Structure 1
Amino acid sequence: MGGLTRDPAFAATTFVVIDFETTTPTGYPAQPIEVAALALRFQDGAWRETGRSTSLIRPPVFAPVTPADTAQTGLTAEQLRQAPNAAEALGALDQRLTADTPYLLVAQHAATEAGVIHHQAEHCPTLARTNLLDTIPLAKRLIPNLPNYKLDTLLHHFNIPQPTQRHRAPDDVDVTAKVFLRLISAAEEDPRIDGLPALFKIAGRTAKANKPLQAELFDV
């Protein structure tokens, strides 16, 4: 393998691929209705899964599941009626992040996941302080000239089969993880990406909780 995976900081990091499905009520930020996370670590020359979590989430009354949400995800209000609320589901996920372990979240279009986490930060403070890697800018650097960098386009490029439940968090996490690992393999061939700092410079996104207050005021 190349310089990236030989970097001690890279080897020490647990990469948590995360995806939310949401409903977006008028006048409110997106509210999660499903979350999935898959933890990966590069150890002894190979990737290993070190954890997995998924949960449906009951949305608040001001953010009901709409027909459009159901058409997109297949999730219905009836399915979510007995699900844990966001505080319970995200609190449980947060508790799975162990102290003193370096983490980076990984997401396709990480701004979306970052926004959901930021607005739920009181329920998942550790998650809210975890920086992110976005597969889109990494793909743009490593695979120039694709028509676009949507997840479906990247799946097609890498010959990764479409999941059976596209737009459900567990399946989307699985295929996003596959894309991420293919991108890391490609990054190994790029001498400019010689370690975790170089990777983060290309694809990193600082969690809002880690930004100075003045920076947050002007963050759009």
Structure 2
Amino acid sequence: MGALTDDPAFQATTFVVIDFETTTPSGYPAQPIEVAALALRYEKGMWRETGRSTSLIRPPAFAPVTPADTAQTGLTPEQLRHAPTPADVLGALDRRFVAGNQYLLVAQHAATEANVIHHQREHCPALAHVDFLDTIPLAKHLVPGLANYKLDTLLARFSIQQPADRHRAYADVDVTAQVFTRLITAADGSPQLSDLAALVKIAGRTAKCNQPVQSGLFDL
């Protein structure tokens, strides 16, 4: 297509679009109740899906599904009562990341997903060390002037049909992936986005596990 997608580093990267649905208990970080991930590689001029995963997750007792959560996602406490634990779900997802392969996570407003993963890092140590691309700063760079950069706004901008189950992780991952690939098509025509490093400079977010830890002033 263009300079970006011709970059060997870009072609060597598996882009994993990820989305969580969560509860937000008072006094605790957001707790996952559903996760979906969709792995994409750019090969021979086209995108290829290389893996997909989705699962409900049983929240801990301190983070029950509320009526507001159900109104947002459609998920009910009954649906999650016998779902697997975060350790089981995120552990299984973590094992799909192969040591030595190059990955980037892709998310709409990546800070949300980054925080969930960081708080669950004991269950997914490999996943917790994968950096992100955030579709919001990328869209701001490539499609300036929108009223906002919410997912629904980007779907409308790119004429992507709203999924029937909007705010379910598996549906949001699919449309986020469509937004991402449309943005990459636009990026291929941008002189400022000539390779993966330039893409990361504009839209990258370092995983919290990869950020340097500042030692105390008086550590001995």
> What does the per-residue CA deviation read over 1:154-173, in whole Å, with 9 as the maximum and x for residues that have no partner?
00000000001000000000
In the other structure, the counterpart of 1:165 is 165
Give, as a single letter, the amino acid of the residue that structure 1 aligns with 2:88. Answer: E
In the other structure, the counterpart of 1:126 is 126
Secondary structure, in 3 states, of the residue corresponding to 1:213?
coil
Query: How far did residue 19 of structure 1 move?
Result: 0.1
> What does the per-residue CA deviation read over 1:168-202, in whole Å, with 9 as the maximum and x for residues that have no partner?
00000000000000000000010110000000000
Secondary structure, in 3 states, of the residue corresponding to 2:100?
coil
Secondary structure, in 3 states, of the residue corresponding to 2:104?
strand
In the other structure, the counterpart of 1:78 is 78
Query: How far did residue 214 of structure 1 move?
Result: 1.4
Query: How far did residue 17 of structure 1 move?
Result: 0.1
Is 1:185 aligned to residue 160 of structure 2? no
Instruction: Show the 5 A alignment for 1:135-214.
Output: 135-214=135-214
Secondary structure, in 3 states, of the residue corresponding to 2:162?
coil
Secondary structure, in 3 states, of the residue corresponding to 2:58?
coil
State the TM-score, normalized to the length of structure 1: 0.97
Number of residue pairs matched by the alignment: 215
In the other structure, the counterpart of 1:218 is none
> What does the per-residue CA deviation read over 1:75-129, in whole Å, with 9 as the maximum and x for residues that have no partner?
0000001100101100000001111110000000000000000000000000000
In the other structure, the counterpart of 1:19 is 19
In the other structure, the counterpart of 2:58 is 58
In the other structure, the counterpart of 1:107 is 107
In the other structure, the counterpart of 2:46 is 46
Secondary structure, in 3 states, of the residue corresponding to 2:179?
helix
Distance 1:192 1:202 in 2: 9
Query: How far did residue 39 of structure 1 move?
Result: 0.1
Distance 2:214 2:105 in 1: 24
Distance 1:110 1:47 in 2: 22
Query: How far did residue 54 of structure 1 move?
Result: 0.2
Give, as a single letter, the amino acid of the residue that structure 2 aligns with 1:29. Answer: P
Query: How far did residue 136 of structure 1 move?
Result: 0.1
Give, as a single letter, the amino acid of the residue that structure 2 aligns with 1:134. Answer: D
In the other structure, the counterpart of 2:92 is 92
Unpaired runs of 5+ residues, structure 1, are: 216-220
Give, as a single letter, the amino acid of the residue that structure 2 aligns with 1:122. Answer: E
Give, as a single letter, the amino acid of the residue that structure 1 aligns with 2:204. Answer: G
Give, as a single letter, the amino acid of the residue that structure 1 aligns with 2:81. Answer: R
Distance 1:129 1:99 in 2: 11
Task: Could you list the structure 1 runs, at least 4 aligned residues long, displaced by more than 4 angstroms after superposition.
Answer: none
Unpaired runs of 5+ residues, structure 2, are: 216-220
RMSD after superposition: 0.7
